Amino acid sequence: FGWMGVLLDSRLYTLLALLSALAAGGVIGWWVRLARRQTTLYAHEARALAVLGASALLTTLGYLWYNLQFVQHQGRYLFPALIPIGLAFAAGLYHVTSPAGARPASLLLAGGAAILIIRGFITHDPSLFWAALLAGLALVLALQGWWGSRRTQRVMLAAVYAGLWALDWLCLFAFIVPALAG
């Protein structure tokens, strides 16, 4: 299927999975803060959230219904859910980079780094790159959580989105074009 058959370096998939986990954790953290009444929603925000949730739910139900009728597992049927998924991703990153979300996220990342280091000592197969990456992210988020501001949050978000933009170009010219040219 052309470019859809091109596989990337596995480290990129791991990095994107980590970013997605951070965003999902941010959404969960925001929901927890909302449930504890540490933050509130305005009426128009609640309505917009309901519309996005309904859109995601209906798309998922349609996908499941179609695949119960015909066995054809294709992600293209989830395209209408990209808007709520993308907005949830952005909202999750926004919460993780806020001081309230950065503190618990930094603790989780530091714990993940510690687990990788301990696992490396036990198995004699250290994942130093990933442990260092998690520890570095934990440090950045800890600094944001304790001494950060809206300005540093904006810089962090801009860096993430600029990195994703650069990754698009890297994937195109380092993986897709060479695979299709040869």
Instruction: Kindly report, residue by residue over 30-75, the tens digit of the pLDDT.
Output: 999 988 988 888 899 899 999 999 999 999 898 888 888 887 777 7
Q: Could you give the C-alpha distances from 12 to 26, 57, 130, in angstroms and in order?
A: 21, 29, 12
Q: In terms of Cα–Cα distance, which of 83, 108, 134, 143 is closest to 26?
A: 108
Note the pLDDT of residue 70.
Answer: 82
pTM of the model: 0.85
pLDDT in tens, 96-128: 999 999 999 999 999 999 999 999 889 988 788
Domain ranges in the chain are 24-170
Q: How far apart are CA 105 and CA 92, in angstroms?
A: 11
